[in-house]
């Protein structure tokens, strides 16, 4: 089971500070990378736990699991591999920050429901 509090903290850091995200990767890659370092889990468990969170979160947000909710298609995702995926001057950058806000809210709701 993933640690919602740690995931929430990582997502907030990603939003607030460009140094806490790799500009060439999206939310999921960055989340997996930092969860491994801050979530006190080894790489195999980190990937599983973050994947579990992403599946639940995206299913809740979109009504089904959506593997590439920003670019929509994997080939488009890789065709823009050398571009800043967080650039607010692009539609993908704006959509990424909107999704990040939604994921933060999802975590907050989940944490609140546990009280």
Position 21 confidence tier, pLDDT thresholds 50, 70, 90? confident
For helices 91-113 and 43-62, give the axis angle rounded to 10 degrees. Answer: 100
pLDDT interval class at 110 (50, 70, 90):
very high
Q: Could you read off the pLDDT of 22-52 as tens digits, one per residue? A: 888 889 999 998 998 876 667 778 889 999 9
Distance of CA 33 to the CA centre of its chain: 10
Distances (CA, A) of 75 to 11, 53, 79, 86, 115: 25, 24, 6, 18, 42
Q: For residue 1, what are its two tokens?
A: 């089971």
pTM, two decimal places: 0.90
Q: How confident is the model over 54-101, as pLDDT tens digits?
A: 999 999 999 999 888 887 765 555 666 678 889 999 888 999 999 999
């Amino acid at each position: 089971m993933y640690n919602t509090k740690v995931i929430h903290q990582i997502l907030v850091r990603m939003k607030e500070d460009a140094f806490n995200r790799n500009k060439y990767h999206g939310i999921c890659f960055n989340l997996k990378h930092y969860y491994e370092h801050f979530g006190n889990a080894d790489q195999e468990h980190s990937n599983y736990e973050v994947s579990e969170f992403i599946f639940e979160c995206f299913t809740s947000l979109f009504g089904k699991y959506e593997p590439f909710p920003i670019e929509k298609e994997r080939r488009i995702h890789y065709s823009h591999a050398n571009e800043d995926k967080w650039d607010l001057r692009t539609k993908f950058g704006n959509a990424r920050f909107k999704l990040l806000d939604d994921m933060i809210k999802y975590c907050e709701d989940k944490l609140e429901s546990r009280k």
